[in-house]
């Protein structure tokens, strides 16, 4: 991934979207979505080795990788909801964007609830 290529894709797509918006707004939306997919995919390809590295570091430090998996799940949900809600907001559907944001928040809370119960168990053990 080179930052210059990502910037080039983003700028060219922005100009294309600006042009298409006048004649066919629906194609403008689809062009923006496909550019978003492309750039996000390019970034994710770079993220994969980093995650492997962090996982091995955690294993060396004897930290439970279950906690790490929860954090990464939340990160994935963040990326997806951000992508979807930004596109909705771009094309004037801010209520849909808000709903997607809410869905992401709820999923993150339900995802990390086991961690909270673990903390409460530890706290109760300390008190009792």
Residues in the site for other proteins, rule: CB under 8 A? Answer: 9, 12-13, 16, 19-20, 23-24, 26-28, 30-31, 33-35, 37-38, 40-41, 44, 47-48, 51, 69, 72-73, 75-77, 79-80
CA distance 65 to 50: 15
Of residues 72 and 91, the one with the C-beta less far from other proteins = 72
Q: Sign of torsion, CA 50 56 62 68?
A: positive
Of residues 76 and 98, the one with the C-beta less far from other proteins = 76
CA distance 124 to 128: 6
Tokens of 64: 């439970």
As measured in angstroms, the least distance from the Cβ of 48 to other proteins is: 6
Half-sphere exposure of 122 (CA within 13 A, CB side): 6
In the numeric block, the tokens 């923006």 are attached to 32
Of residues 34 and 95, the one with the C-beta less far from other proteins = 34
As measured in angstroms, the least distance from the Cβ of 123 to other proteins is: 28
Of residues 73 and 89, the one with the C-beta less far from other proteins = 73
């Amino acid at each position: 991934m080179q930052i210059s290529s990502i910037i080039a894709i983003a700028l060219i797509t922005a100009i294309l979207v600006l042009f298409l918006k006048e004649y066919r707004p629906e194609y403008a939306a689809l062009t923006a979505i496909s550019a978003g997919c492309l750039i996000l995919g390019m970034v994710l390809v770079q993220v994969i080795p980093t995650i492997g590295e962090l996982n091995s570091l955690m294993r060396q430090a004897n930290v439970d990788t279950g906690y790490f998996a929860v954090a990464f799940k939340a990160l994935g949900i963040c990326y997806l909801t951000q992508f979807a809600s930004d596109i909705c907001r771009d094309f004037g559907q801010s209520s849909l964007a808000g709903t997607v944001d809410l869905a992401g928040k709820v999923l993150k809370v339900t995802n990390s609830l086991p961690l909270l119960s673990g903390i409460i168990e530890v706290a109760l053990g300390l008190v009792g």
